[in-house]
Structure 1
Amino acid sequence: MATDPNFWPDYLEQHRHPANRALHVAGTVTAAALLAVGVARRDRRALLAAPLVGYGAAWLGHFLVERNRPKTLDAPLASLVADMRMAGLALTGRLAREYRRYGIPDRPGLTIRRTGPAPAPAPGSPSRRYAEPSSYPR
Protein backbone atom coordinates (compact mmCIF):
# COMPACT_ATOMS: atom_id res chain seq x y z
CA MET A 1 0.00 0.00 0.00
CA ALA A 2 1.55 3.27 -1.09
CA THR A 3 1.20 6.04 1.45
CA ASP A 4 0.98 9.78 0.97
CA PRO A 5 3.84 11.42 2.90
CA ASN A 6 1.57 14.40 3.57
CA PHE A 7 -1.28 12.36 5.07
CA TRP A 8 0.02 12.53 8.65
CA PRO A 9 0.69 16.30 8.60
CA ASP A 10 -2.69 16.85 6.92
CA TYR A 11 -4.27 14.68 9.60
CA LEU A 12 -2.60 16.74 12.34
CA GLU A 13 -3.86 19.91 10.67
CA GLN A 14 -7.44 18.56 10.86
CA HIS A 15 -7.02 17.90 14.60
CA ARG A 16 -5.68 21.19 15.94
CA HIS A 17 -8.32 21.79 18.61
CA PRO A 18 -7.49 20.09 21.94
CA ALA A 19 -11.15 19.12 22.52
CA ASN A 20 -11.26 17.38 19.14
CA ARG A 21 -8.07 15.47 19.96
CA ALA A 22 -9.46 14.52 23.39
CA LEU A 23 -12.62 13.14 21.79
CA HIS A 24 -10.51 11.17 19.31
CA VAL A 25 -8.27 9.69 21.99
CA ALA A 26 -11.25 8.81 24.21
CA GLY A 27 -13.05 7.22 21.26
CA THR A 28 -9.98 5.28 20.11
CA VAL A 29 -9.16 3.96 23.58
CA THR A 30 -12.79 3.05 24.30
CA ALA A 31 -13.18 1.36 20.91
CA ALA A 32 -10.00 -0.67 21.52
CA ALA A 33 -11.29 -1.73 24.94
CA LEU A 34 -14.65 -2.72 23.47
CA LEU A 35 -12.91 -4.75 20.77
CA ALA A 36 -10.80 -6.53 23.38
CA VAL A 37 -13.85 -7.30 25.52
CA GLY A 38 -15.83 -8.37 22.48
CA VAL A 39 -13.14 -10.80 21.36
CA ALA A 40 -12.40 -12.12 24.85
CA ARG A 41 -16.05 -12.68 25.75
CA ARG A 42 -17.30 -13.34 22.23
CA ASP A 43 -19.74 -10.51 22.77
CA ARG A 44 -21.22 -9.24 19.50
CA ARG A 45 -22.70 -6.17 21.18
CA ALA A 46 -19.25 -4.98 22.26
CA LEU A 47 -17.84 -5.68 18.80
CA LEU A 48 -20.66 -3.70 17.16
CA ALA A 49 -20.36 -0.87 19.68
CA ALA A 50 -16.60 -0.41 19.12
CA PRO A 51 -16.74 1.39 15.77
CA LEU A 52 -19.87 3.31 16.76
CA VAL A 53 -18.19 4.66 19.89
CA GLY A 54 -14.84 5.27 18.21
CA TYR A 55 -16.17 7.02 15.13
CA GLY A 56 -19.01 8.67 17.03
CA ALA A 57 -16.65 10.46 19.40
CA ALA A 58 -14.27 11.41 16.60
CA TRP A 59 -16.99 12.72 14.33
CA LEU A 60 -18.47 14.79 17.15
CA GLY A 61 -15.06 16.40 17.44
CA HIS A 62 -14.98 17.20 13.75
CA PHE A 63 -18.54 18.39 13.29
CA LEU A 64 -19.11 20.22 16.58
CA VAL A 65 -15.64 21.34 17.68
CA GLU A 66 -13.23 21.55 14.77
CA ARG A 67 -15.95 22.15 12.15
CA ASN A 68 -14.21 20.24 9.40
CA ARG A 69 -14.72 17.05 7.40
CA PRO A 70 -13.31 13.83 8.91
CA LYS A 71 -10.44 12.32 6.90
CA THR A 72 -12.08 8.93 7.47
CA LEU A 73 -14.43 9.72 4.61
CA ASP A 74 -11.51 10.01 2.18
CA ALA A 75 -9.04 7.42 3.51
CA PRO A 76 -10.61 5.07 6.08
CA LEU A 77 -7.63 2.77 6.69
CA ALA A 78 -5.01 5.53 6.78
CA SER A 79 -7.27 7.52 9.08
CA LEU A 80 -7.68 4.57 11.46
CA VAL A 81 -3.90 4.13 11.63
CA ALA A 82 -3.48 7.88 12.21
CA ASP A 83 -6.12 7.80 14.98
CA MET A 84 -4.17 5.07 16.75
CA ARG A 85 -0.88 6.92 16.22
CA MET A 86 -2.34 10.14 17.61
CA ALA A 87 -3.79 8.33 20.63
CA GLY A 88 -0.44 6.68 21.36
CA LEU A 89 1.44 9.97 21.06
CA ALA A 90 -1.12 11.79 23.20
CA LEU A 91 -1.08 9.14 25.92
CA THR A 92 2.73 9.20 26.06
CA GLY A 93 2.99 13.00 26.05
CA ARG A 94 4.68 13.23 22.65
CA LEU A 95 1.89 14.70 20.52
CA ALA A 96 2.83 18.39 20.98
CA ARG A 97 6.33 17.58 19.76
CA GLU A 98 4.83 16.04 16.62
CA TYR A 99 2.94 19.25 15.89
CA ARG A 100 6.12 21.29 16.37
CA ARG A 101 8.04 18.89 14.12
CA TYR A 102 5.77 19.77 11.20
CA GLY A 103 5.41 23.44 12.14
CA ILE A 104 1.67 23.10 12.72
CA PRO A 105 0.09 25.11 15.54
CA ASP A 106 -1.57 22.64 17.90
CA ARG A 107 -4.35 25.06 18.86
CA PRO A 108 -6.60 27.26 16.74
CA GLY A 109 -5.36 30.85 16.65
CA LEU A 110 -1.82 29.89 17.67
CA THR A 111 1.05 30.96 15.45
CA ILE A 112 4.42 29.26 15.43
CA ARG A 113 7.28 31.63 14.76
CA ARG A 114 10.32 30.21 13.08
CA THR A 115 13.58 31.87 13.98
CA GLY A 116 16.00 29.44 12.41
CA PRO A 117 16.19 26.87 9.67
CA ALA A 118 13.57 24.15 9.47
CA PRO A 119 14.43 21.06 11.53
CA ALA A 120 15.82 18.03 9.74
CA PRO A 121 13.30 15.24 9.21
CA ALA A 122 13.39 12.47 11.80
CA PRO A 123 15.02 9.21 10.73
CA GLY A 124 12.60 7.11 8.73
CA SER A 125 10.27 10.01 7.97
CA PRO A 126 9.66 11.28 4.45
CA SER A 127 12.48 13.50 3.22
CA ARG A 128 10.00 15.92 1.68
CA ARG A 129 9.03 18.66 4.14
CA TYR A 130 5.33 19.27 4.67
CA ALA A 131 4.30 22.36 2.77
CA GLU A 132 2.19 24.60 4.98
CA PRO A 133 -0.89 26.25 3.54
CA SER A 134 -0.25 29.89 2.65
CA SER A 135 -2.98 30.93 5.10
CA TYR A 136 -0.63 30.46 8.07
CA PRO A 137 0.67 33.69 9.50
CA ARG A 138 4.43 33.74 9.79
Structure 2
Amino acid sequence: MGKLNFLAISSVGILALSFLPHYFLHPVGHSNTDCGKFTKPSVDENGNPFEDFATFYPYYICEHLQPKTKLFHFVGTGNLILLILYTLYSKHNLLYSLLIGAIQAYTFAWVSHFTIEKNKPATFNYPFLSFLGDFKMFSECLQGEYVLWE
Protein backbone atom coordinates (compact mmCIF):
# COMPACT_ATOMS: atom_id res chain seq x y z
CA MET A 1 0.00 0.00 0.00
CA GLY A 2 1.33 3.44 -0.88
CA LYS A 3 1.98 6.07 1.76
CA LEU A 4 -0.77 8.40 0.51
CA ASN A 5 -3.35 5.61 0.49
CA PHE A 6 -2.23 4.64 3.96
CA LEU A 7 -2.62 8.25 5.16
CA ALA A 8 -6.13 8.49 3.71
CA ILE A 9 -7.21 5.27 5.43
CA SER A 10 -5.46 6.14 8.69
CA SER A 11 -7.13 9.59 8.72
CA VAL A 12 -10.53 7.92 8.81
CA GLY A 13 -9.36 5.58 11.57
CA ILE A 14 -7.87 8.43 13.62
CA LEU A 15 -11.10 10.44 13.27
CA ALA A 16 -13.01 7.45 14.62
CA LEU A 17 -10.48 7.10 17.44
CA SER A 18 -10.83 10.80 18.29
CA PHE A 19 -14.53 10.32 18.96
CA LEU A 20 -14.05 7.55 21.56
CA PRO A 21 -12.79 9.77 24.42
CA HIS A 22 -15.65 12.17 23.67
CA TYR A 23 -18.19 9.34 23.81
CA PHE A 24 -16.83 7.44 26.82
CA LEU A 25 -15.04 10.08 28.93
CA HIS A 26 -17.19 13.17 28.23
CA PRO A 27 -14.48 15.86 28.33
CA VAL A 28 -15.68 19.34 29.22
CA GLY A 29 -12.55 21.49 28.99
CA HIS A 30 -10.85 23.36 26.20
CA SER A 31 -7.78 24.32 28.24
CA ASN A 32 -6.17 23.30 31.51
CA THR A 33 -4.43 26.61 32.14
CA ASP A 34 -5.14 30.30 32.63
CA CYS A 35 -4.65 31.65 29.12
CA GLY A 36 -5.09 35.26 30.21
CA LYS A 37 -1.51 35.37 31.47
CA PHE A 38 -0.15 35.12 27.91
CA THR A 39 -0.73 38.64 26.64
CA LYS A 40 1.89 38.60 23.87
CA PRO A 41 2.45 35.85 21.30
CA SER A 42 5.43 33.50 21.62
CA VAL A 43 6.64 34.70 25.04
CA ASP A 44 5.93 33.74 28.63
CA GLU A 45 3.89 35.86 31.05
CA ASN A 46 7.02 37.93 31.84
CA GLY A 47 7.70 38.68 28.17
CA ASN A 48 10.66 36.30 27.94
CA PRO A 49 11.17 33.53 25.38
CA PHE A 50 10.27 30.05 26.61
CA GLU A 51 13.26 28.11 27.83
CA ASP A 52 11.82 24.69 28.59
CA PHE A 53 8.86 22.48 27.78
CA ALA A 54 7.23 22.80 31.21
CA THR A 55 6.77 26.55 30.82
CA PHE A 56 6.00 26.35 27.09
CA TYR A 57 3.23 23.74 27.20
CA PRO A 58 0.57 25.88 28.94
CA TYR A 59 1.13 28.53 26.24
CA TYR A 60 0.93 25.82 23.58
CA ILE A 61 -2.46 24.69 24.87
CA CYS A 62 -3.68 28.30 24.89
CA GLU A 63 -2.81 28.50 21.20
CA HIS A 64 -5.20 25.56 20.62
CA LEU A 65 -8.43 26.67 22.29
CA GLN A 66 -10.84 25.66 19.52
CA PRO A 67 -11.82 21.97 19.60
CA LYS A 68 -11.48 21.71 15.81
CA THR A 69 -7.87 22.91 16.04
CA LYS A 70 -7.11 20.14 18.51
CA LEU A 71 -8.94 17.67 16.25
CA PHE A 72 -6.83 18.66 13.22
CA HIS A 73 -3.66 18.25 15.31
CA PHE A 74 -4.94 14.92 16.65
CA VAL A 75 -5.44 13.57 13.13
CA GLY A 76 -2.06 14.83 11.89
CA THR A 77 -0.16 13.47 14.90
CA GLY A 78 -2.08 10.19 14.84
CA ASN A 79 -1.29 9.74 11.15
CA LEU A 80 2.39 10.40 11.84
CA ILE A 81 2.45 7.79 14.61
CA LEU A 82 0.65 5.19 12.48
CA LEU A 83 2.86 5.90 9.47
CA ILE A 84 6.01 5.37 11.55
CA LEU A 85 4.63 2.11 12.98
CA TYR A 86 3.60 0.93 9.51
CA THR A 87 7.04 1.79 8.13
CA LEU A 88 8.82 -0.08 10.92
CA TYR A 89 6.57 -3.09 10.37
CA SER A 90 6.92 -3.11 6.57
CA LYS A 91 10.65 -2.21 6.64
CA HIS A 92 10.23 0.64 4.16
CA ASN A 93 12.43 3.75 4.09
CA LEU A 94 11.93 5.36 7.50
CA LEU A 95 13.40 8.73 6.52
CA TYR A 96 10.98 9.06 3.59
CA SER A 97 8.06 8.10 5.84
CA LEU A 98 9.11 10.64 8.47
CA LEU A 99 9.24 13.33 5.80
CA ILE A 100 5.79 12.45 4.41
CA GLY A 101 4.41 12.12 7.93
CA ALA A 102 5.78 15.47 9.04
CA ILE A 103 4.47 17.22 5.93
CA GLN A 104 0.95 15.90 6.41
CA ALA A 105 1.01 16.57 10.19
CA TYR A 106 2.14 20.16 9.75
CA THR A 107 -0.35 20.67 6.92
CA PHE A 108 -3.21 19.63 9.20
CA ALA A 109 -1.85 21.75 12.04
CA TRP A 110 -1.10 24.90 10.06
CA VAL A 111 -4.40 24.83 8.17
CA SER A 112 -6.18 24.70 11.52
CA HIS A 113 -4.14 27.59 12.92
CA PHE A 114 -4.68 29.85 9.93
CA THR A 115 -8.35 29.03 9.29
CA ILE A 116 -9.85 28.05 12.66
CA GLU A 117 -7.69 29.49 15.44
CA LYS A 118 -6.54 32.46 13.33
CA ASN A 119 -3.13 32.60 14.96
CA LYS A 120 0.48 31.95 14.01
CA PRO A 121 1.63 28.39 14.75
CA ALA A 122 4.04 28.16 17.68
CA THR A 123 6.15 25.90 15.43
CA PHE A 124 7.50 28.99 13.69
CA ASN A 125 9.25 30.15 16.88
CA TYR A 126 9.59 26.91 18.85
CA PRO A 127 9.78 23.96 16.42
CA PHE A 128 11.08 21.31 18.83
CA LEU A 129 8.89 22.35 21.77
CA SER A 130 5.84 22.45 19.49
CA PHE A 131 6.65 18.99 18.17
CA LEU A 132 6.74 17.69 21.75
CA GLY A 133 3.54 19.60 22.48
CA ASP A 134 1.75 17.82 19.63
CA PHE A 135 2.47 14.45 21.17
CA LYS A 136 1.54 15.51 24.69
CA MET A 137 -1.71 17.08 23.49
CA PHE A 138 -2.44 13.91 21.46
CA SER A 139 -1.99 11.84 24.62
CA GLU A 140 -4.15 14.18 26.70
CA CYS A 141 -6.88 14.11 24.05
CA LEU A 142 -6.86 10.31 24.14
CA GLN A 143 -7.28 10.53 27.92
CA GLY A 144 -10.34 12.76 27.49
CA GLU A 145 -8.84 15.96 28.88
CA TYR A 146 -10.03 18.14 26.00
CA VAL A 147 -13.13 18.53 23.90
CA LEU A 148 -12.50 17.59 20.26
CA TRP A 149 -16.10 17.39 19.07
CA GLU A 150 -18.77 19.99 19.64
TM-score (norm 2): 0.58
SS in 2 for 1:93: coil
Which residue of structure 2 lines up, in the alignment, with residue 135 of structure 1?
none
Between the aligned partners of 1:59 and 1:43, the Cα distance in structure 2 is 27
Q: Bigger radius of gyration, 1 or 2?
A: 1
1:48 paired residue among 99, 120, 136: 99
Aligned-pair CA distance for 1:40: 2.5
Number of matched residues?
A: 96
SS in 1 for 2:144: coil
Aligned-pair CA distance for 1:6: 3.1
CA contact (8 A) 1:38 1:47 kept: no
Runs of 4+ in 1 over 6 A off after TM superposition: none
Which residue of structure 2 lines up, in the alignment, with residue 67 of structure 1?
118
Which residue of structure 2 lines up, in the alignment, with residue 85 of structure 1?
136
2:108 partner amino acid:
A
Structure 1 gap segments, 5+ residues each: 97-138
In the alignment, structure 1 residue 8 sits paired with structure 2 residue 57: yes
CA contact (8 A) 2:53 2:129 kept: no
1:20 paired residue among 66, 69, 72: 69
Identity %: 27
Greater relative contact order: 1 or 2 (C-alpha under 8 angstroms, separation 6 or more)?
A: 2
TM-score (norm 1): 0.63
Structure (1 or 2) with the greater helix fraction: 2
Structure 2 gap segments, 5+ residues each: 1-50
What RMSD over aligned residues (CA atoms) do the two structures have, in Å? 2.0
